[in-house]
Amino acid sequence: MEKYTPMMQQYLEVKKNYQDALVFYRLGDFYEMFFDDAKIASSELDLVLTGRNAGVKERVPMCGVPFHAVTGYIQRLVQKGYKVAIVEQMEDPALAKGLVRRDVIKVVTPGTVIDELFDERSSIYLAAVVDIQYALVLSVCEMSTGETKLLRIPRNALRLQQTLLKNNIREMVVKEGFDEKLIRAVRDLSAVAISYCSEDQIAEEYLPLCEALRELPEREAYGIMLNYLTETQKRMMRHLQPVEIENENDVLYMDFSTQQNLELVTPLRTQSKSETLWSFLDHCQSAMGSRLLKKWIERPLVDRKKIAFRQDRIEYLMQNFMVREDLKDLLGGIYDLERLIARVAYGSANAIDCQRLQKTIAQIPQMLALFEGAPVFQEYAGIDCCRELNDLLEGAFVETPPVSVKEGGMFAEGFSAQLDEYRSIQKDGKNWILQQENKEKERTGIKTLKIGYNRVFGYYIEVSKGAAAQVKEEYGYVRKQTLTNAERYITQELKEREDAILHAQERAVRLESELFANLLEQIRSYLPKLQKLSMMLAHLDVFRSLAALCSDYGYVRPQFTEDELEIVEGRHPILERVSGHQYVANSLHMDKNSQILIITGPNMGGKSTYMRQAALIILMAQMGCFVPAKSCRMPVFDKIFTRIGASDDILSGQSTFMVEMTEANNALSLATDRSLILFDEIGRGTSTYDGMALAQAMIEYIAVCIHAKTLFSTHYHELTALDESLPAVSNVHVEVHEENDDITLLYRVKKGKADRSYGINVARLAHLPEAVLDRAKELLRELESKKRVVQQSLGIVEMVKAPVKEQAILDQLEQVDVNQLTPMMALQMIMDLQQQLKEKK
């Protein structure tokens, strides 16, 4: 340390406390990185690596980025999982004695991004996780909006991974000593950073936000989250919303693979630009509307009243075209209020943000006027529109204010009399000097008198040597400098004016900063009201977006039944819009007597599309949306499980078959008689007879033990015989028109089983060599002569459903390390396990 220059010593002192972050050290107009940080940054950001003399023999590795473009660089690093500590000057260089003091003003981490968000429609979460031996408690926060929720999940590595991926959690915060096996499971994801924080005390100012948290582990998780945020952000998080406890049973359960298989918010192939349900439904005018719609898609409802509540609002807007169009125009003039609020609360807002805030709240009274006399929107009638705040902000800023608060020049004339005076002094300074010169000439009678300026003396009055004798004492001139041909003087009035002119700019900027800080403080007093308004705007945006789509495409309102599922002429919402040819609608009917549909037919015939279509219609219905069908009657489902597509899980080194069996096990373990299961060609990853045996056993287990509604597509035509021994099983097939060896796929689903699989005919469509096709036909004839018939076992009635909840409780107990439990935790565990058993009954 002693060998380095004072500046480098200061850098090393700061870096010592941020070993896990890349330190961006502000020097002038650049953020510089040194040593290993510089090597990493130059590699990741394609920067030139240079060196700097720092008092030692070897030059210190160094690279830098301009301060005005730093956000883009931080975005790229954070997306790759790095943390960035930003170091700024902590004092005015003009007032500093010696080296200017510098320190970290905030640490940007993968889970705490606000200004560095890559996509304004995306939501990135941070989770603090507490291990209570028999379960995991997660406190989850979205920093850019202040949304905070609390989850409890089984203590299971796979479940933890699924939860992190489902909720787009980019950073997990734990205490030192957290279970290493769980840490390794999270590291396998690579998309989730792991951080540590040991402090779990909740500061007094946050206590009103966590009144819903009663149990110690919940408060511990919330406390860790708060302390980590305080540690990295170096300020109070005033925009945090009250914590919500999320119960899995309040929404339609889907695991991460189901969300992926159905392409709800991300395409199945990451490089693909194919449409997802979210991108298809999203016609929102604002980013906050888009984010809310995404939540609706990921968490459909299971409460009929809540579903009807959404349906009523969408229906009203479908029926009132002019209201819908006027609302669209008004929503087009709003900004992302959720994130504007966060920036104001956080202290990173600028004048442009305040302008946008004002323009947004100015639209609200007109919006609400559209719904006067509409009973379905009655709850918005008494909402506070923050008119006083609008009056405060309206006209406060110039038309195009600067991006930086430090530059000044943001407030409009008339906002502050003092500021106007400073500006007037700046503007009129030169005029005053000219007027003063003429005034002095007239007063003294000295024609050669002039007023000049230099950096050493400031403003001065200069009189030629010949006229110096005319200077009288009553003029108040004080001699300051003698030149060969002139004398220079100053006066009290000139010095006062000089001080005013020279410091007016500086004082104006300082005053603007103070005025802006005061204005932000006034806006902060409206935060709870603004958060309610942002929630209302997001909902109106989503209702309008869905109403427009449902109206344009002729969607119908689904009706809810106790058990019967009947979709008449249902359509795949996305494919019907993007397919070049006429889309073929298909119906689906299931009830207590027909709970399992075995779907047969050739590849490319539309089996997978038919299954996905059913799942998407059900999902849209439980979001509260209307659906693409002639009519739809359905029960409210509690869970959806899918096994569609064949892809190896390269990440965990699992084969297609292993992934298939894992996902099938998930469905068979967790499904109830109110669930929907979609199995697409289960068993194809192993030998024919193995696969067929497993497929048959699964169908029998679902029929006898689970009674879930199941769509089961297969190429094992032998399985179609199960309808003879299992009353709950029915057969449907995709229709094919055959002429000679050529087939035409009709994409229509009909009752009954397919005659055969048409694999060779489809191969002909793909133009395989004729010799291959002829040989395949010969082999097929030979194999069909030895065809195996499905085993009609009577033993299936003896199948018993695995006691999932009891087994889950036994699994939890088995994982508990008794030595890690305090007496209080042990009592809490017994209460929780008892509650789980009661819920089962």
DSSP letters spanning 777-812: HHHHHHHHTTPPPPP--GGGGG-----HHHHHHHHH
pLDDT at 122 exceeding the cut of 90: no
Query: Which residue has 């107009």 as its token pair?
Result: 29
Pairing of strands 102-108, 84-89: antiparallel
Query: Which residue has 């790095």 as its token pair?
Result: 82
pTM summary value: 0.85
Per DSSP, the chain holds a count of helices (H) and strands (E) of 25, 26
Return the percentage of the chain with pLDDT > 70, whole number: 91
411 φ/ψ angles, rounded to the nearest 5 degrees: -85, 145
What average pLDDT does range 592-609 have in this prediction? Answer: 86
Quote the pLDDT of residue 490: 92
DSSP 451: E
pLDDT class of 416 with cuts at 50, 70, 90: very high
Exposed, middle or buried, 663 (CB in 10 Å: 0-12/13-18/19+)?
buried
pLDDT at 370 exceeding the cut of 90: yes
Read out DSSP for 203-268?
A: PGGGGGGGTT--SHHHHHHHHHHHHHHHHHH-S--TTPPPPEE--GGGB-B--HHHHHHTTSSS-S
Pairing of strands 586-590, 478-482: unpaired
* H-helix or E-strand spanning residue 561: none
CB 97 within 8 A of CB 157: no
pLDDT at 767 exceeding the cut of 90: no
Q: Which is higher by pLDDT, 737 or 6?
A: 6
CB 103 within 8 A of CB 207: no
Tell which residue, 339, 358, 445, 346, has the closest CA to residue 122.
339
- For residue 173, count other CB atoms closer than 10 A to its CB: 26
pLDDT class of 649 with cuts at 50, 70, 90: very low
What average pLDDT does range 53-73 have in this prediction? Answer: 88
Tell which residue, 357, 159, 128, has the closest CA to residue 232.
128
Long-range contacts from 222-226, C-beta under 8 angstroms, 24+ separation: 222/128, 222/139, 222/148, 222/150, 223/199, 224/128, 224/130, 224/139, 224/173, 224/174, 224/175, 224/197, 224/199, 224/200, 225/126, 225/127, 225/128, 225/139, 225/140, 225/141, 225/148, 225/173, 226/202
- What is the maximum span of the chain, computed from C-alpha positions, in angstroms? 133
pLDDT at 10 exceeding the cut of 50: yes
* H-helix or E-strand spanning residue 314: helix 304-319
Query: Which residue has 């949306």 as its token pair?
Result: 625
- For residue 370, count other CB atoms closer than 10 A to its CB: 17
CA pseudo-torsion sign 659, 664, 666, 669? negative
pLDDT class of 742 with cuts at 50, 70, 90: low
Beta strand extents in 561-608 (DSSP E only): 565-570, 586-590, 596-600
* H-helix or E-strand spanning residue 672: none
pLDDT at 648 exceeding the cut of 50: no
CB 281 within 8 A of CB 543: no
Sheet containing 478-482: give its strands across: 450-454, 458-464, 486-490, 478-482
CB 601 within 8 A of CB 736: yes
Convert the pLDDT of each residue in 538-569 to its tens digit.
Answer: 999 999 999 999 999 999 999 999 999 999 99
Quote the pLDDT of residue 662: 79
DSSP 525: T
pLDDT class of 406 with cuts at 50, 70, 90: confident
Q: Which is higher by pLDDT, 485 or 818?
A: 485
CB 288 within 8 A of CB 338: yes
- For residue 834, count other CB atoms closer than 10 A to its CB: 11
DSSP 690: H
Structure token digits, residue 226: 């708060």
Convert the pLDDT of each residue in 660-684 to its tens digit.
Answer: 787 888 888 889 999 999 998 887 7
Pairing of strands 169-174, 193-196: parallel
Separation CA 287–CA 356 (nearest Å)? 14
Q: Which is higher by pLDDT, 702 or 834?
A: 702
* H-helix or E-strand spanning residue 538: helix 527-553
pLDDT class of 829 with cuts at 50, 70, 90: confident
Quote the pLDDT of residue 117: 65
* H-helix or E-strand spanning residue 540: helix 527-553
Three-state secondary structure readout of 179-192: CHHHHHHHHCCCCC
Return the SS3 of 417: helix
Query: Which residue has 């005033």 as its token pair?
Result: 238
pLDDT at 802 exceeding the cut of 70: no
pLDDT class of 751 with cuts at 50, 70, 90: confident
* H-helix or E-strand spanning residue 617: helix 607-623
pLDDT class of 1 with cuts at 50, 70, 90: very low
Structure token digits, residue 639: 């869970």
pLDDT class of 794 with cuts at 50, 70, 90: very low
The span from the first CA to the last CA of the chain, in angstroms, equals 68
Highest mean pLDDT (candidates 219-223, 380-384, 496-500): 219-223
Q: Residue 453 pairs with which residues in a beta bridge?
A: 459
pLDDT class of 631 with cuts at 50, 70, 90: very high
Quote the pLDDT of residue 247: 87
